Structures are given as C-alpha cells and as structure tokens.
Structure 1
Amino acid sequence: MTLTCLAVDDEPLALELVCTFIKQTPFLQLAGRYTSALEALNHLHQHPVDLIFLDIQMPDLSGTDLARVLDKGQPGQGPRIIFTTAFNQYALEGYRLDALDYLLKPFNYVEFLRAANKALAYAELRQKPVEPNPALVEAEEENIFLKVEYQLVRVALKDILYIEGLKDYVKVHLQSATKPILSLTSLKALEEKLPAKKFMRIHRSFIVALDKIQSVTRQSVQIKEVNIPVSDQFKEQFNKFLSRWV
C-alpha cells in the first residue's frame, strides 16, 4: 500500500526535511509541498491525499484551523493528519482534532517513521477486503477500537466491565486490567459503537456490560465491588431488562 502525502510548513528548512523523509520512506509518495495551509487546501480540493504532515503555527491559516476545515467536510473521511511543531502545548488540541500523531521539532527519521507507520497501519485497518471473510467479520464484531493517546487500541468486548464518561474522555474499565483505559471520545459516541444486546447505558455517566452485572436493585447495579446508579432518564429501558431478572 502507498499513501499519498502533502508536506505543509512555512519554514523552508523544516519543509525540506519532511519532504526528504517522505521520499526516503517506501510506502509514502509526496504529492505536494506547501509553505501555506491555504495553498494546501486548494490542492486538496482538486487532488485528495491520504496523509498530511502539517505544521501548526503558520500565517493566514494555522494547521489546526486547516484540520478543522477538513473535518467539517467529511468527518473521518478526509486525509489523516500528523502535526509537526516546535511547541508541545498544542498536543492536546491535536489529539482532540483526531490527529494520528504529533511530532515535536526537532525530530529525526526514526521518530518520523514511527508516525508514518501508524498512518500505514490505520490505512490498512480501514481498507475493506473485496470479499469479506465471515470469520473475520465475526471476530471484528467481538472487538472495539479505541483511540488511546495517538494510536488505535483493540479491546475485546468480553473484557469490558463498564464505561465511565468524564467531560471529554471515557474510562473503559476492564476485567483483565487494574487501571482503566482512557480514551478521548464521548460516552454517546462510544454507545453507538457497542452492541445493544451486550451493553446498556443506565446513567448519563455510565454504560455497563450486561453479562458482568452481579446483582441489581431498582436503583443500581453491582459489577464487582462497584455500585453503579441507574438514573431516571434510563429507568424505563433498565426496568425492561430488570424484568428478566425477576
């Protein structure tokens, strides 16, 4: 697989380095190099690419602004982005913009290649086989992919105990781990990815794995040593489930 790329940086030396690294990487193909995010955007209107190595601080249009523009067009369908910047304070913002990685200048080829490999792995993951294998489809339905830091982590559905929603994150509590997985997503977005026959939202802040419930009351469920409340908003759905316990 070959990924077509743009390199965008208003610093000539930094731009030249990224272009050199791209040409040095067999699975990357340089489709254009720009010192302006606006010029890069014009290119993308005519020639879509798979990946952008994108500086953040640039005149006219910043890298994060360009990322937001691209995300508004076709969320999740546009080119993936690897930010390149000399300022680490943009790391969280880059994460929120669903960047694949964040390279802090000055970076070397080993660091660049590590980020490029993430992009390749992501592209291969999204590529659908021409003839789906039923066994592979079934296996895929037994897992969920969560973005943890700057990588996708596969989590087995049967390993999930419950999921706790925070402000901008979710904590996924697992049977096999003492510490939960922290992922930058909303509880609602994650709820839509989970099979309804195995998981239920019982509170604005909690989704539970139905087969991990050890005991129930009208107001709560218990999973291991944790007592999780059922809020009024989800009482009707929960009572239907509870009727199967009585």
Structure 2
Amino acid sequence: MTLNCIAVDDEPLALEQVSKFIEQTPFFKLVGKYSNALHALNAIHTQKIDVVFLDIQMPDLNGIQLARALDKRTNKPHIIFTTAHHQFAIEGYQVDALDYLLKPFNYEEFLRAGNKALHYTELLNRRATPPVISNEPEHTHEHYIFLKVEYQLVRIALDDILYIEGLKDYVKVQLKNTEIPLLSLTSLKALEEKLPAKRFMRVHRSFIISLDKITSMTKSSVHIGKILINVGHQYKDIFSQFIGKWN
C-alpha cells in the first residue's frame, strides 16, 4: 500500500526536511509540498491525499484551523502535526490528529508516526462496511458502550466483544462473527474504565479479555477461540484469584 502525502510548513528548511523524509519512506508518495495552508487546503479538496504532515503556526490559516476545516469530510486525511511548540499537543488531539511530531525530530521518530498512519489506514480499508453492532436494549450501560470509530460514535454490544488490544494511542476491538476489528483512537486504560469489571478483565498491559468468551486457560495464558493471550506478570495475582473460583 502506498499513501499519498503532502507537507505543509511555512519554514523552507522544515518543509524540505519533511518532504525528504516522505520521499525516502517506501510506503509514502510525496504529491505536494506547500508553504501556505490555503494552498494545501485546495490540494486536499482536489486530490486524493491520505496523510498531511502539517505545521501549526503559519500565517493566514494555521494548522489547527486547517484541521478543523477538514472535520466534516468523510474522507478526511490523517493529520500528523509537526511543530516546535509542545503546548499545542492537547489542541492537536482535539481535532483528531493521528500523531504529533515535536521539532526537531529525526527520521526514526518520523517513521514511527508514518507506520501508525499506514497501520491505521490498512485496518480501515479492510472494513468495507461498518458492522451492525447491536440490538441490545438501551435501558442500561451494562449491555453496551459507545466508541468513537471513523469520526462517529458506534454502539457496541458487550456480548459481541471477544477481546481488546491496545496499540499505543488506539485500540482494536475484536468482535464475534467478524474478522475485521473496530479501531478507535483512545487508550486501553480509558476503555477499561468504561467496561464492567464483572465481565471484563485486563490480563496484560496490551489486552483486555471478555471473561465469558474464554474457551480454556492456565495460570499464565488464556485461549479465546484460537487466539492465545499471555497473562502479564503484574496481572497474574488477580488472574489467579479468578482461576481459583473454578478449582
């Protein structure tokens, strides 16, 4: 898969550096570089752009304003902010930025953000249509949660969840009867707080499991169907207590 990218920065040296990083990344294609956010906005509206590497402090239209202008687009490109000012980080994530690169950054940091964009795009492309999530009754949160998926809140029946995997800044929710997981830009900890403890358990820093979907288990691992999930060291005591109920 190749992602079409543009670089937007009013500083010539910074613009050239990001453009160079894009060009040396195998799965990226540089289709434009702009020193003016208004010109970049026009390019986004007239071309297929997958990723925008976007400076924040620019004249006429700044990066945050440009990102907000794209919020209503159904095919909104991924935004990766590039800025020398860390105070914009929170505001950046409020406009659904995929990542935030603090200047000066090296190619390793750039590539880490690029891989996130690639992985996120691959997962979204595999989901041809959003799944029909739930017919559960709406009178209690014990039966469902709402999760932000592709810029909309999706209702997910708790009975449909097999397990949840944390991937740094976002999570994959694996549902029964579908091979394609839901992907949401949130943390595993934030999602854990929404789930009823009597039905779900965190067994690893990267995994939450649905207890009633366990098909077999040992003191150090869990099978959910064909999926093997190891129990992390810091979670073994609480998991042992759970196993003890069945011994």
Question: Could you state the TM-score of these two structures normalised by the residue count of structure 1?
Answer: 0.57
Question: 1:176 is paired with a residue of what secondary structure?
Answer: strand
SS, match of residue 112 in structure 2: helix
Tell me the percent identity. Answer: 55
Q: 2:23 corresponds to which residue?
A: 23
Instruction: Give the letter aligned to residue 172 of structure 1.
Output: K
The one-letter amino acid paired with 2:161 is E
Alignment of 1:19-98 (within 5 A): 19-74=19-74, 77-98=75-96
Q: C-alpha distance in 2, partners of 1:144/1:8?
A: 39
Going from structure 1 to structure 2, the CA distance change for 1:88 and 1:153 (only over 3 Å counts) comes to: same
Q: Could you tell me how far apart the structure 2 residues matched to 1:176 and 1:60 are?
A: 49
1:180 Cα deviation (Å)? 11
- CA change 1:145–1:31 in 2 (3 A) is farther
> Residues 159-170 of structure 1: matches in 2 within 5 Å?
none
Which has the larger share of helix? 1
The whole-number CA distance in structure 2 between the counterparts of 1:69 and 1:147 is: 30
Q: Residues 177 and 99 (structure 1 numbering): CA distance in 2 closer, same or farther, change over 3 Å?
A: same
Q: Give 2:104's aligned residue.
A: 106
Q: Give the conservation status (yes or no) of the 8 Å contact 1:143–1:154.
A: no
**Deviation of the 1:73 alpha carbon:** 3.1
- Note the aligned Cα RMSD (angstroms): 3.0
Matching residue's letter, 2:102:
L
- TM superposition score normalised by structure 2: 0.57
CA contact (8 A) 1:85 1:103 kept: yes
CA distance in 1, matches of 2:15, 2:42: 18
Does 2:194 align with 1:172?
yes
Return the letter of the residue paired with 1:109: Y
1:154 and 2:172 matched:
yes
Question: Which deviations, in whole Å up to 9, do the C-alpha atoms of 1:126-156 show, x marking residues without a partner?
Answer: 11378xxxxxxxxxx63687998x7321245
Distance 1:156 1:43 in 2: 36
Partner of 2:161: 142
Q: Could you tell me which amino acid in structure 2 is paired with residue 41 of structure 1?
A: L
CA–CA separation in structure 2 for the residues paired with 1:35 and 1:109: 21
Listed as ranges, the gaps of 5+ residues in structure 2 are 129-159, 177-189, 207-247
**In structure 2, do the counterparts of structure 1 residues 89 and 126 end up closer, same or farther at CA, with 3 Å as the change threshold?**
same
Matches of 2:202 and 2:162 in 1, distance apart? 16
Amino acid at match of 2:115: N
CA distance in 2 between partners of 1:103 and 1:58 (Å): 16
Contact 1:86 1:106 in 2 (8 A): yes
Amino acid at match of 1:85: T
Deviations 1:181-238 (A, max 9, x none): 9xxxxxxxxxxxxxxxxxxxxxxxxxxxxxxxxxxxxxxxxxxxxxxxxxxxxxxxxx
Change (3 A) 1:99 1:108: same
